[in-house]
Amino acid sequence: MSFFNSIGRSMTRSAPRGPKRSPTPTSATFPPVDPHPPNPVSPAPVSRPLYLASPFVEATLVKGQFKTIVMLPKYVDIMEWVAVNMFDFYTNINEFYGVIAECCTQQTCPTMSAGPSLNYTWINNDRKSVNLPAPTYIDYVMTWVQNLLDDENTFPTKSGRDFPQSFPSTIKHVYRQLLRVIAHIYHAHYPQILHLRSEPHFNSLFAHFLAFGREYELLEVKDLKGSASAPVGIGALWERWKEMGILEG
């Protein structure tokens, strides 16, 4: 069943999810969601990132196909399944970022970079595309997602309440922004992930996230790869995992 075609046909929710996490602290007001694709800047010579090198590229906790763990279980409502999974992705990404956050500062990461030739820009309140320091950008994303998760109109937790018509497109926005956070961590903070010996966990999280995005039509390939002339590092990682049979095409 297609996630995007199933709204309105979903059953009502039966059980509330687990306790919600506290939001990433922020004092910033939250601008609207960035509706624009990544903004490739001038191409630069690309050196091979460490996460594409052996043994790190193969370091995953789950062996075999990730597709099996993202498929909709029998008798589970698709809206509920997507909601619970997005909640888990957010929680895990927040956890990883929390660990490396002290290394992600305005000085180390003055832009939301995800590769030598790619910066993600933010759409501000004046609808202008602006560069933000990565910690600010990520703070906006995580606060926005946390507020959505806490919003009973977006993520209903009470029995008898339906998901809103806008739920699939909201989820697609959330997915895109969480992808950018992962991309930044791979690009700018992989040494810290390695230092913590967390690369198998982080690879598993990302492979699961990609497989989920493919299954529920959330993943835009252009978000992953930037433009064809300036592919992003994690786009190469995705290609590599497809070659290795960890992910499907």
Binding site for Zn ion (CB under 5 A): 104, 109, 134, 188
Nearer to Zn ion among residue 137 and residue 155 (C-beta): 137
**Is 109 labelled as part of a ligand binding site?**
yes
Tell me whether strands 129-130 and 122-123 are parallel, antiparallel or unpaired.
antiparallel
Q: How far is the CB of 52 from Zn ion (least distance, A)?
A: 19
Cβ neighbours for 147, distance < 8 A, ≥ 6 positions apart: 23, 30
Structure tokens, 26: 């922020």
C-alpha to C-alpha distance for 149 and 157, rounded to whole angstroms: 10
- For 107-128, give the secondary structure using H, E and C: CCCCCEEEECCEEECEECCCCC
- Considering beta carbons, is residue 174 or 188 the nearer one to Zn ion? 188
The smaller minimum CB distance to Zn ion, of residues 188 and 193, is found at 188
- Report the nearest approach of Zn ion to the CB of residue 109 (Å): 3
Spatial separation of the C-alpha atoms in residues 90 and 123, rounded to whole Å: 21
Q: Binding site annotation covers 184?
A: yes
Q: Which of 7, 20, 5 is nearest to 145 (CA)?
A: 20
Question: Is the Cβ of residue 83 or residue 145 nearer to Zn ion in the bound state?
Answer: 145
Residue 131 C-beta: closest distance to Zn ion, Å? 13
Which helix (H) or strand (E) element contains residue 240?
helix 233-244
**At which residue do the structure tokens 């927040």 appear?**
94
User: In this complex, which beta carbon is closest to Zn ion, that of residue 86 or of residue 181?
Assistant: 181
Helix (H, G, I), strand (E, B) or coil at 225: helix
By C-beta, is 3 or 186 nearer to Zn ion?
186
| Single-letter amino acid, residue 219 | L
> Has 189 been labeled as part of a binding site?
yes
Give the tokens for residue 214: 């493919």
Give the ranges where 3-131 is alpha helix by DSSP (H): 67-70, 78-100
Q: Specify binding-site residues for Zn(2+).
A: 104, 109, 184, 189
